Amino acid sequence: MTSDKANAAAYWKANVRLITWSLIIWALVSYGCAMLLRPMLAGISVGGTDLGFWFAQQGSIITFIGLIFHYAWKMNKLDKEFGVEE
């Protein structure tokens, strides 16, 4: 029974770590590049507009969708590692 609790705790810790890093990346792209760093990115042109505007309009959405797929992929690997896959 102790092994099951330790296994569950390790699984939950890995899950929370993955969620934390996903949220950090999301926040850096959404808030950092799109809002806080926009003046520094204004001189870089992407598709006819500045990079800060691009991150605010498309980059943060694309990054968020990428994070969803990355999270699903990593959770499938984590589920198999801990023996809880579907």
pLDDT at 11: 93
Q: How many CB atoms lie within 10 A of CB 54?
A: 20
For the segment 12-63, what is each residue's pLDDT rounded down to a tens digit?
999 999 999 999 999 888 887 777 877 887 888 878 888 878 877 787 888 8
pLDDT at 18: 96
Question: Do 71 and 22 meet the contact criterion of CB atoms below 8 Å apart?
Answer: yes
Sequence-distant (6+) residues with CB within 8 A of 43 are 50
pLDDT at 1: 63
Sequence-distant (6+) residues with CB within 8 A of 59 are 29, 33, 34
The pTM score is: 0.77
Sequence-distant (6+) residues with CB within 8 A of 52 are 33, 34, 37, 38, 39, 40, 41, 42
